[in-house]
Amino acid sequence: MHGKRVKLFCGLIVRPCNDIINRARLELEKAFSQIEIESQRVPFKYTDYYRKEMGGYLLRFWWGFRELVEPESLSEIKRKTMSIEDMLRDERGFRQVNIDPGYLDLSRIVLASTKDYSHRIYLRNGIFAEIEYTFVRGKFEPVPWTYPDYRDTPAMEFFAKLRKIYKDQIRKNCGK
């Protein structure tokens, strides 16, 4: 066990349907804990990767969870989010939501993925991890492979707020 617990979040790309968003929220809160912070919801305009399966107009946003997790649980968390995606497929079998979990600590943001690339580290069970930001000179800085949507203001603002919540949370828990 690593010893230091981290702040779990999920990035969602979803059809703009309140029913799907609410169902995803319910399942994620059941699996992980209460959502305590949500980013601004913005149109997802960075790639056509999801267009064929999910449609042309999609929303992008992030949710941060109240309870801290062990960093080594990231592969199991990714597997669980994949099963939630499957549960929420439409009648044709197409995904209606893409859920990408990750975690934040005071010095970095780490994402989980099923895709292997040169900058990703294998965890287990077909899941890889990559650093998406590092915390340098008082703010999160993207790395060369950071996704374009993670470079935009809504993401940067969300992760700055989530880091502050996490910092306050570990400071408060330190005395317990």
User: Half-sphere exposure of 105 toward its Cβ, with a 13 Å CA cutoff?
Assistant: 13
- What is the H or E stretch that residue 103 is in? strand 97-104
Residue of 54, 45, 48 lying closest to 17 (CA atoms): 54
pLDDT tens-digit series, residues 1-38: 456 999 999 999 999 999 999 999 999 999 999 999 99
pLDDT tens-digit series, residues 118-152: 888 999 999 999 999 999 999 899 999 999 999 99
- What is the H or E stretch that residue 20 is in? helix 18-31
> Which tokens hold the place of 97?
């939501």
pLDDT band at residue 175 under the 50/70/90 scheme: very low
Question: What's the DSSP call for residue 117?
Answer: -
Predicted TM-score (pTM) above 0.95: no
User: What are the structural domains, with CATH classification, of the chain?
Assistant: 6-174 (3.30.70)
